[in-house]
Amino acid sequence: MENRSGPIGPESVVVRDAALPATRVDDDLVILNIATGRYIGLDDIGRRIWDMIETPVRVGDICDMLSRHYRGTPEAIAADAMAFLGEMADEALIRVDG
């Protein structure tokens, strides 16, 4: 997955922007992107990833954790997680290192 920060792969380390206001609405999470003024809604899986990246974490570790909790092949889960994280990086909601 390519984004403004470069490709996101299993060895990339990601962390969310702690300054962004976010609130839970039922099972979802709504984040305000202060730079754009847009709201981003995350479902259960997106919220779980958001919670995981409160501190810096390797993308491969995120994929492993998701594979233990959700159905799907590890390859499909990893592809979906990296695509999601790429979108988050493009929105400047997370920082990607490596």
- Per residue in 33-51, pLDDT (tens digit) is 988 899 999 999 999 999 9
Are the C-beta atoms of residues 50 and 16 closer than 8 Å to each other?
yes
Look at strands 38-42 and 6-7 and give their pairing. unpaired
Q: Which residue in the block uniquely carries the two structure tokens 């969310």? A: 16
> In 3-state terms, what secondary structure has residue 78?
helix
**Crossing angle for the helix pair 44-52 and 59-69, nearest 10 degrees?**
140
Structure tokens at 63: 């994929």
- Per residue in 7-37, pLDDT (tens digit) is 899 999 999 998 999 999 888 899 999 888 9
Q: What is the pTM of this model?
A: 0.86
Q: DSSP character for 22?
A: E
